[in-house]
């Protein structure tokens, strides 16, 4: 995404466009996988004068505005990625924490069955599936 598209995302979510917010969102958008606060801090400190507290505040506001998706992948810290509204499927190694996104696999039938069994929900907007195991390198 280019700078103008990112600014539009922020504006459409009802947030004020700030330099730090734009830099945090840009870094998350460029990441090839869900990114942690630690990874984001290391990346932004190399290029920008931005501290970890500012990164946390901006991640939180972008998440609450629905721009970012926050995932807990059982590593003791959150991972962030752009919220696309599309379902995500990931396999995570319990040993080295590598994350592989899996695309082109439908879980529609399983999701439909879960919603049908639910007593409190009648539809799902999007979903995320995380599968945990051990990668080939760690096996």
Is residue 98 pLDDT above 80, yes or no? yes
Residue 87 has pLDDT above 80, yes or no: no
The domain defined by 3-82 carries CATH number 1.10.8.60:
no
Instruction: Specify the pTM.
Output: 0.77
pLDDT band for position 16 (50/70/90)?
A: very high
* 88-133 CATH: 3.30.1490
Over residues 96-108, mean pLDDT: 83
Contact between residue 66 and residue 83 where contact means Cβ atoms under 8 Å apart: yes
Domain map (residue ranges) of the chain: 3-82, 88-133
The percent of residues in the chain predicted with pLDDT above 70, rounded, is 100
Q: Any residues with CB less than 8 A from the CB of 115 and at least 6 apart, and which?
A: 121, 122, 123, 124
Comparing CA positions, the residue from 82, 62, 70 lying closest to residue 17 is 62
Q: Quick one: pLDDT band at residue 102, thresholds 50, 70, 90? A: confident
């Amino acid at each position: 995404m280019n700078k103008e598209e990112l600014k539009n995302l922020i504006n459409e979510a009802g947030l004020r466009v700030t330099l730090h917010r734009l830099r945090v969102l840009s870094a998350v958008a460029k990441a090839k996988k869900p990114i942690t606060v630690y990874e984001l801090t290391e990346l932004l400190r190399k290029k920008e004068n931005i501290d970890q507290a500012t990164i946390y505040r901006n991640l939180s506001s972008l998440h609450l505005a629905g721009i970012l998706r926050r995932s807990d992948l059982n590593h003791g810290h959150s991972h962030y990625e752009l919220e696309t509204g599309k379902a995500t499927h990931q396999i995570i190694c319990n040993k080295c924490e590598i994350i592989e996104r899996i695309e082109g696999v439908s879980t529609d039938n399983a999701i439909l069955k879960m919603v049908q069994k639910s007593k409190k929900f009648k539809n799902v907007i999007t979903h995320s599936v995380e599968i945990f195991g051990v990668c080939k390198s760690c096996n």
